């Protein structure tokens, strides 16, 4: 955090002295919404929210730009307030290079929905927001980009790691404790190519897993302490997107290496190879249909019941496999998305989801966005998680919900 403040202090000083009248571009959204439940695996229901989201860009002639994005939210039932600065960074553009310093939203990958190479900035999976992009949080980074003829080379340095915020299922005799993400540096490198009909990238990440592991802590008469801990992770990845007529083919693959000690280590994510890919069709009458295959190979996989006696440790081990989405040696499934716009694009309708084989369950979503005016949105949606209790999606079944949101852009 000290690094962030230092970077932004320098940026503010530069922008203040660069130009007498810097240009300010700002926008925002006011939202109010009703949710039938939460995303924290509790029994809370009938939740009302009110929030304000804002973005601003302060541009100068010679000292770059200062970019900021933040939101403030109030729970109208419990009178609790939450806020977050999603982005706050300085950007400088040279003739063929760009430098960003500060808290940034960083997302890699070209696959739709499931992105094996998306390892940079965290998400809050307990937040109530209709759009997945609104769950993402910024991370402090120095991001340098160099523009080649048809490609960009990006080098990133992170002074500290970050972590997803995830819901955890309460278990008798188990007390959860969230460990701070390691205050240690991370590094990433990406080569991104943009062609006439094909885009691709190759990437490397050396840092810490955004998804925490469930690690066993103290064991006593009162029960068991489980620590949510982010472990070391190295990822080699690549993605490809090819446009062909009314079709776009997308594919993404990543090989991840962790600190797992082998087959009998049930409290660390294990090494894996994950592929996601398939076509998206742009059809007549504004229909869009996308279908992808997902295949994941988990190395050194073993079932907890083959190594651990029945009891609390076995249950926690099963929960760790579900949290890491490594419940089988080979996991296969599909993702789909069907979308349509109507009435001069004033209505956007979409259904999407994930379905895994072998009883591993999945997620089904439906969403409608009605815009009676350009700046006014009325959004209605449903989310349904299903599957075996000890599966990634099945453990989230209690998070089934519906919502209605009214948003006004200004």
Residues 6+ apart with CB under 8 A from 230: 161, 163, 179, 181, 182, 208, 209, 210, 211, 212, 213
pLDDT digits (tens, 9 = 90+) for 320-333: 999 999 999 999 99
Once rounded to an integer, what is the mean pLDDT over residues 341-370?
Answer: 95
Q: What angle do CA 323, 325, 328 make, to 5 degrees?
A: 130
Once rounded to an integer, what is the mean pLDDT over residues 272-285?
Answer: 97
Pairwise CA distance, residues 325 & 210, whole Å: 13
Bridge-based pairing of strands 151-158 and 186-194 is antiparallel
Coil, helix or strand at residue 334: strand
pLDDT digits (tens, 9 = 90+) for 167-193: 988 878 888 999 999 999 999 999 999
Please report the pLDDT score of residue 4 as a whole number: 52
Once rounded to an integer, what is the mean pLDDT over residues 28-41?
Answer: 95
Among positive and negative, which fits the CA dihedral 383, 389, 393, 398?
positive
pLDDT at 11 over 90: no
Residues 6+ apart with CB under 8 A from 373: none
Pairwise CA distance, residues 395 & 398, whole Å: 8
Instruction: Name the residue among 259, 255, 263, 170 with its Cα closest to residue 213.
Output: 259
Pairwise CA distance, residues 50 & 78, whole Å: 12
Which percentage of the chain shows pLDDT scores above 70?
Answer: 93
Task: Answer whether 316's CB lies under 8 Å from 295's CB.
Answer: no
Pairwise CA distance, residues 209 & 256, whole Å: 10
Please report the pLDDT score of residue 10 as a whole number: 54
Please report the pLDDT score of residue 217 as a whole number: 84
pLDDT at 1 over 60: no
> How far is the CA of 372 from the CAs of 30, 160, 275, 405, 407, in angstroms?
16, 44, 40, 14, 11
Tokens representing residue 324 in the block: 């890491």
pLDDT digits (tens, 9 = 90+) for 58-71: 998 888 999 999 99
Please report the pLDDT score of residue 257 as a whole number: 97
- 123 C-beta neighbours (distance < 10 Å), count: 21
Please report the pLDDT score of residue 9 as a whole number: 57
pLDDT digits (tens, 9 = 90+) for 202-247: 999 999 999 999 988 887 767 788 999 999 999 999 999 999 999 9
Greater model confidence, 141 or 8: 141
Once rounded to an integer, what is the mean pLDDT over residues 269-296?
Answer: 97
Q: Supply the mean pLDDT for the chain.
A: 92
Instruction: Dump strand ranges (E) for 223-346.
Output: 223-229, 232-244, 247-258, 272-283, 287-298, 330-342
Task: Answer whether 59's CB lies under 8 Å from 65's CB.
Answer: yes
Residues 6+ apart with CB under 8 A from 258: 209, 231, 232, 233, 268, 269, 270, 271
pLDDT at 157 over 80: yes
Residues 6+ apart with CB under 8 A from 151: 191, 192, 193, 194
Sole residue written with tokens 């770059």: 64
Pairwise CA distance, residues 83 & 52, whole Å: 9
pLDDT classification of 371: cutoffs 50, 70, 90: very high
pLDDT digits (tens, 9 = 90+) for 300-353: 999 999 999 888 888 889 999 999 999 999 999 999 999 999 999 999 999 999
Counting the structural domains of the chain, the total is 1
CATH of the domain at 248: 2.40.160.100
Written as one string, the DSSP assignment of 232-243 is: EEEEEEEEEEEE
Task: Answer whether 44's CB lies under 8 Å from 33's CB.
Answer: no
Instruction: Name the residue among 209, 308, 326 with its Cα closest to residue 270.
Output: 326
Written as one string, the DSSP assignment of 108-157 is: ---SSS--TT--SS-BBTTS--SSGGGGB--EEEEEEEEE-SSEEEEEEE
Domain range for 316 is 2-409
Please report the pLDDT score of residue 13 as a whole number: 55
Greater model confidence, 310 or 254: 254
Classify residue 92 by burial, with Cβ atoms within 10 Å: 0-12, 13-18, 19+: middle
Ramachandran region of residue 46, left (φ > 0), alpha (ψ -120 to 50) or beta? left
Please report the pLDDT score of residue 76 as a whole number: 72
Please report the pLDDT score of residue 164 as a whole number: 97
Please report the pLDDT score of residue 61 as a whole number: 82
pLDDT at 357 over 60: yes
Sole residue written with tokens 């553009």: 93
Question: What is the reported pTM?
Answer: 0.90
């Amino acid at each position: 955090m000290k690094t962030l403040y230092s970077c932004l202090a320098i940026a503010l000083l530069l922008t203040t002295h660069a130009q007498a009248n810097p240009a300010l571009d700002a926008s925002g959204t006011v939202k109010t919404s009703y949710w039938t439940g939460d995303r924290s695996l509790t029994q809370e229901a009938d939740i009302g929210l009110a929030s304000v989201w804002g973005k601003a860009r302060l541009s100068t002639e010679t000292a770059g730009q200062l970019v900021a994005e933040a939101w403030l939210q109030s729970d109208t039932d419990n009178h609790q307030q939450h806020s977050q600065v999603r982005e706050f960074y300085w950007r400088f553009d040279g003739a063929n290079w760009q430098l960003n310093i500060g808290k940034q939203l960083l997302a890699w990958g070209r696959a739709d929905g499931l992105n094996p190479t998306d390892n940079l900035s965290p998400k809050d999976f307990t937040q109530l927001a209709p759009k997945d992009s609104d769950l993402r949080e910024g991370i402090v980074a120095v991001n340098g980009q160099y523009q080649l003829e048809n490609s960009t080379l990006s080098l990133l340095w992170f002074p500290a790691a970050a972590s997803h915020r995830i819901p955890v299922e309460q278990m008798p005799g188990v007390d959860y404790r969230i460990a701070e993400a390691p205050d240690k540096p991370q590094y990433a490198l990406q080569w991104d190519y943009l062609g006439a009909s094909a885009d691709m990238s190759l990437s490397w990440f050396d840092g810490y897993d955004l998804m925490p592991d469930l690690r066993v802590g103290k064991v006593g008469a009162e029960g068991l302490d489980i620590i949510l801990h982010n472990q070391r992770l190295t990822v080699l990845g690549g993605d490809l997107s090819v446009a062909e007529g009314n079709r776009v083919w997308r594919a993404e693959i990543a090989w991840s290496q962790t600190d797992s000690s082998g087959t009998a280590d049930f409290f660390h994510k294990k090494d894996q190879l994950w592929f996601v890919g398939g076509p998206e069709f742009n059809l007549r009458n504004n229909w869009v249909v996308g279908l992808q295959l997902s295949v994941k190979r988990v190395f050194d996989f073993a079932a907890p019941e083959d190594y651990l006696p029945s009891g609390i440790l076995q249950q926690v081990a099963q929960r760790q496999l579900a949290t890491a989405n490594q419940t089988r040696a080979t996991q296969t499934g599909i993702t789909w998305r069907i979308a349509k716009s109507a009435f001069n694009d004033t209505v956007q309708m979409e259904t999407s989801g994930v379905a895994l084989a072998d009883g591993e369950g999945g997620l089904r979503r439906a969403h409608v966005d009605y815009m009676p005016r350009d700046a006014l949105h009325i959004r209605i949606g449903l989310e349904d998680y299903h599957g075996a209790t000890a599966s990634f999606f099945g453990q989230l079944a209690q998070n089934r919900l519906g919502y209605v949101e009214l948003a006004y852009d200004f």
